[in-house]
Amino acid sequence: MNKNSFTYKKSGVDTNAAEKFVKFISNISSKKKGNKKLKNIGGFGSVSNLPSKLKNPKIVACTDGVGTKIEIANTLNKFDTIGVDLVAMSVNDLIVQGAKPLLFLDYISINKINLPKLKLIIKGIINGCKQSECELVGGETAEMPDTYEKGKFDIAGFAVGVVSEDKILSKKKIKQNDLILAVPSSGLHSNGYSLIRHIIKKKKINIKKNKFLKTELLKPTKIYVKEILKLIDKNLINGCANITGGGLADNIKRIIPNSLKAEINLNSIKTFKIFKWLKNNGISDKEMLKTFNCGVGFCLIVNKKKFNLVEKYFTKDFKPYIIGKITRGKNKVKLNGFVNWM
């Protein structure tokens, strides 16, 4: 080949590295034990089986990313947890509809293929899929040297689930006097990181040397799939909400019927040290509540007679507790009191 001729590699795209990455994903994803799988990685599309014994099954689909949490991963050179975050952000939305996650696909766009980095991200994704009892069936890795600066990348995920029509969690199941339960988060999850990074930059904090922040900022998002699906199967909940961007108020109002409202007692919230740290670094209560989960990763709406039955499906660190109730009204959400940040 003429050394002066144009090649894809000279333009910044290494197809050989991409092929090695696809082979790695195919090998690691095929190690999953259990029912016989259809080979999907590396094909044009993904084929999977639908669960049997579903009554009038409905498909549910979600997509999401992890935002600028990836910048923290880049700064700390730690990439084994953001894949879990990626899966969590989509599957935690799926279960709000009552759906069991079946399939997951990822999209990774990056300045230059970095196999060690990408392998860690994929291992995290497969870990998240394992926790969610779903399958990584495919994805796309795009090497984009002119779009991303050196070392920069982004990731997005797509989840597909299925639910029997009679198990769909709809607004009409929520009734007056139902209890609102908070299920603790594992920490920040994957929201508010642009604000967090702004504080870190303005206050000139070196997170590499801050043991507390180094640990907290990359804690993976809690995946609630197993617990919530068991509750749905036992008909123990009337509704639920994944508390992500927008905080408690903006996410709960999405599931409340027009004639009802969620009254939440903020003084009941059990917050964590990382949220206290953020509050003490110049963020108002209002901004905290609309940006972060503040310690509440998921909310359940349950009949008060079923509260004691719900508790047993959660481990000690994620035991749900009462933060409010459903009342009559038109405002959808009313926040009472104040979060105790101390």
Q: What CATH number does residue 274 fall under?
A: 3.90.650.10
CB count within 10 Å of CB 56 equals 9
**Residue 42: what pLDDT?**
63
- On whether both 146 and 58 belong to a single domain, the answer is yes
Q: Give residue 101's domain range.
A: 15-33+54-167
Is residue 27 included in any domain, yes or no? Answer: yes
**Residue 183: what pLDDT?**
98
What's the whole-number mean pLDDT along residues 53-68? Answer: 93
- Dihedral sign from CA coordinates of 83, 162, 134, 48: negative
Is residue 199 included in any domain, yes or no? Answer: no
- Dihedral Cα 318, 319, 322, 327, nearest 10 deg: 70
pLDDT digits (tens, 9 = 90+) for 143-167: 999 899 999 999 999 999 999 999 9
What's the whole-number mean pLDDT along residues 123-143? Answer: 94
- On whether both 329 and 301 belong to a single domain, the answer is yes
**Residue 207: what pLDDT?**
97
- On whether both 149 and 232 belong to a single domain, the answer is no
Which residues are registered as beta bridge partners of 98?
A: none
Helix axis angle, 82-94 to 69-76, nearest 10°: 160
**Residue 35: what pLDDT?**
46
Inter-CA distances, 296 with 18, 86, 270, 283, 340, Å: 39, 19, 8, 18, 14
**Residue 30: what pLDDT?**
57
- What's the CATH number where 138 sits? 3.30.1330.10
Radius of gyration of the chain (CA): 22
Give me 57's structure tokens.
Answer: 């099954």
- On whether both 86 and 228 belong to a single domain, the answer is no
Question: In total, how many domains does the chain have?
Answer: 2
**Residue 277: what pLDDT?**
97
Q: How high does pLDDT run on average in the chain?
A: 92
Give me 43's structure tokens.
Answer: 């094909």
- On whether both 178 and 114 belong to a single domain, the answer is no
The least confident of 107-116, 195-204, 318-327 is 107-116
Q: Alpha-carbon distance 142 to 97, whole Å?
A: 31
**Residue 222: what pLDDT?**
98
Spell out the residues 6+ positions from residue 340 whose beta carbon is closer than 8 angstroms to its own. 267, 269, 271
Which ranges of the chain would DSSP assign to H, the alpha helix?
Answer: 15-29, 69-76, 82-94, 115-132, 193-202, 211-216, 225-233, 247-252, 273-279, 285-291, 307-311
Q: Alpha-carbon distance 227 to 312, whole Å?
A: 10
Residue 180 predicted with pLDDT over 80: yes
- On whether both 132 and 147 belong to a single domain, the answer is yes
Is residue 63 included in any domain, yes or no? Answer: yes
Residue 33 predicted with pLDDT over 50: no
- On whether both 153 and 70 belong to a single domain, the answer is yes
**Residue 34: what pLDDT?**
43
What's the whole-number mean pLDDT along residues 81-108? Answer: 97
Q: Is 342 or 149 the better-scoring residue by pLDDT?
A: 149
- On whether both 158 and 109 belong to a single domain, the answer is yes
Spell out the residues 6+ positions from residue 50 whose beta carbon is closer than 8 angstroms to its own. 57, 102, 162
Half-sphere exposure in the Cβ direction for 92 (13 Å, CA): 26
Percent of the chain with pLDDT over 70: 95
- Quick check: 58 and 184 in contact, CB under 8 A? no
- On whether both 154 and 25 belong to a single domain, the answer is yes
Q: Is 33 or 64 the better-scoring residue by pLDDT?
A: 64
The least confident of 2-11, 145-154, 224-233 is 2-11
- On whether both 159 and 183 belong to a single domain, the answer is no
Is residue 44 included in any domain, yes or no? Answer: no
pLDDT digits (tens, 9 = 90+) for 106-124: 999 999 999 999 999 999 9
- On whether both 230 and 305 belong to a single domain, the answer is yes
Is residue 342 included in any domain, yes or no? Answer: no
- Quick check: 63 and 90 in contact, CB under 8 A? yes
Is residue 102 included in any domain, yes or no? Answer: yes
Residue 17 predicted with pLDDT over 60: yes
- On whether both 29 and 142 belong to a single domain, the answer is yes
Is residue 236 included in any domain, yes or no? Answer: yes
**Whose CA is closest to 269, among 254, 253, 245, 285?**
285
Is residue 265 included in any domain, yes or no? Answer: yes
Among the candidates 135, 167, 199, a domain finishes at: 167
